[in-house]
Chains A and B, each alone.
Chain A
Amino acid sequence: MSHLDFATLVDYWTRDLSPAQSEDVEAHLFACDACSAEAERVATIAGAFRGFLPPAISTAQLEELRGRGLAIEENDFVPGARTAVTFAPQLELMIHHLTGLDLAGAERVELTVRSESAGMLHHDPYAPFDAARGEVLIACQRHFAMMPRDIVFDVDVHRAAAPPVRATYAIPHVFIPPAPSS
């Protein structure tokens, strides 16, 4: 029995195979120990992403996070301003509301997170947005402390047959680590 190549397993997991190809892959996985083990590794990576909270979140995700009882601080930011934030030791999450956006008729919103000194850190061409409130939500997490501090968010609003409109938010971050537990 020949084995499935790794690229095919990734395509299967990301739904980029035809239904017939997917069925063939599934039939093979049920019969082949080695490919089943390899598929498990792809699934573990995919699972890590599903459990990962990306920088840009939806309003529904924010509601779900609020419902978990996490220590959250929320702040509003307007385009063009430079406003520093401190991730205090007792916090588990900060939510940055990038407000003041005209999102009427937006097809998609593209978020770029960059460091003024180190360049692009994160790029999300399909960032969730709240058209009614005119805002994009950023879930700032403690492990982002490993990133540079001089953070800038560029939000590009894409509409049909029009060039994207950009809003920029410069938000330098300071992370204060929690006190070590005794």
Chain B
Amino acid sequence: MDEAELCRRFAPRIRLYGLKHLRDEERARDLVQAVLIAVIEAARAGRIEEPQHLDRFVLGVCRNLALRAHRTERRAPEPVPDDQLDINGVLPATAALDAGALLHCLSALEQRAQTVLMLSFYRDKSADEIAAVLATTAGNVRVLRHRAVSQLRDCMEVP
């Protein structure tokens, strides 16, 4: 796999990992840059022992740099100057969904499903915590949630 293909293939996955763990678009993009540069440098230096499992190597670097970011509580990983690696060409444009459209699609869901989504994604409550206040089971919360996300995805025409 050449370097351009490596960037095209892994940049979106690293961004997703960053969004999940660092919870911020800008920090996720910083992570993409830092990880790709580290991986490319390792590849050029012949330090990737199992090239057939490049995905594992990239994930390992990703975990290490994200963990370092948490430990140091900086806006880390340290942003790499843009001219060293332009990631914009290998990352999808951020899909900003309209708040009005979200409200419209939410209103089409049953009230309990709306509450589950809001508590999950906005208030960061676990299925157990949500189950406790809605007098149901965590399993039921999960079922409500994935069905509701699926309906929202279709309603909002997420590509």
Let me know if A27 and B59 touch, CB within 8 A.
Answer: yes
Let me know if B123 and A44 touch, CB within 8 A.
Answer: no
Let me know if B59 and A49 touch, CB within 8 A.
Answer: no
Interface residues of B (CB under 8 A from A): 10, 12-13, 16-17, 19-20, 23, 25, 55-56, 58-59, 92, 94-97, 99-100, 102-104, 107, 111, 114-115, 117-127, 133-134, 138, 142-143, 145-146, 149-150, 152-153, 156, 158-159
- Write out the residue numbers on chain A whose beta carbons fall within 8 Å of the beta carbon of B25: 47
Q: Across the interface, name the chain B residue whose C-beta is closest to A55.
A: B118
- Write out the residue numbers on chain B whose beta carbons fall within 8 Å of the beta carbon of A21: none
Once A36-B16, A43-B16 are accepted as A-B contacts, the answer to whether A126 and B59 lie under 8 Å apart by CB is no
Bound CA–CA A147/B103 (angstroms): 10
The 4 A-B pairs of least Cβ separation, nearest first, read A49-B121, A48-B97, A143-B100, A7-B146
- Check if A86 is an interface residue, CB within 8 A of chain B: no
Q: Across the interface, name the chain B residue whose C-beta is closest to A11.
A: B142
Q: Which of B55, B121, B152 lies at the interface centre, i.e. has the most chain A CB atoms within 10 A of its CB? A: B121
Bound CA–CA A49/B121 (angstroms): 6
Report how many residues on chain A are interfacial, defined by Cβ distance under 8 Å. 45
- Write out the residue numbers on chain B whose beta carbons fall within 8 Å of the beta carbon of A134: none
Chain B contact residues: helix, strand, loop or mixed = helix
- Write out the residue numbers on chain B whose beta carbons fall within 8 Å of the beta carbon of A7: 142-143, 146
Can you show 30 pairs from A to B with CB atoms below 8 A apart? A6-B146, A6-B149, A11-B127, A13-B20, A14-B121, A16-B126, A16-B138, A26-B59, A27-B59, A30-B10, A30-B55, A30-B56, A30-B59, A43-B16, A44-B97, A45-B121, A47-B19, A47-B94, A47-B95, A48-B99, A49-B121, A50-B23, A51-B96, A51-B97, A52-B102, A108-B133, A124-B119, A126-B125, A146-B100, A146-B104
- Check if A71 is an interface residue, CB within 8 A of chain B: no
Let me know if A123 and B122 touch, CB within 8 A.
Answer: no
Bound CA–CA A125/B115 (angstroms): 8
Let me know if B13 and A30 touch, CB within 8 A.
Answer: yes
Q: Give min CB distance, A58 to chain B, whole Å.
A: 11
Once A27-B59, A36-B16, A125-B133 are accepted as A-B contacts, the answer to whether A10 and B104 lie under 8 Å apart by CB is no
Q: Across the interface, name the chain B residue whose C-beta is closest to A122.
A: B114
Q: Give min CB distance, A119 to chain B, whole Å.
A: 8
In-complex Cβ contact of B121 among A40, A46, A143, A144 (8 A):
A46
Q: Across the interface, name the chain B residue whose C-beta is closest to A46.
A: B121
Bound CA–CA A42/B124 (angstroms): 15
Q: Give min CB distance, B52 to chain A, whole Å.
A: 11
Contact code string A140-172 (vs B, CB < 8 Å = 1, else 0):
010110110000000000000000000000000
Bound CA–CA A86/B60 (angstroms): 55
Bound CA–CA A123/B111 (angstroms): 8
Let me know if B13 and A29 touch, CB within 8 A.
Answer: yes
Q: Across the interface, name the chain B residue whose C-beta is closest to A141.
A: B99
Once A51-B99, A143-B103 are accepted as A-B contacts, the answer to whether A40 and B126 lie under 8 Å apart by CB is no
- Check if A15 is an interface residue, CB within 8 A of chain B: yes
Bound CA–CA A29/B18 (angstroms): 13
Let me know if A36 and B156 touch, CB within 8 A.
Answer: no
- Check if A41 is an interface residue, CB within 8 A of chain B: yes
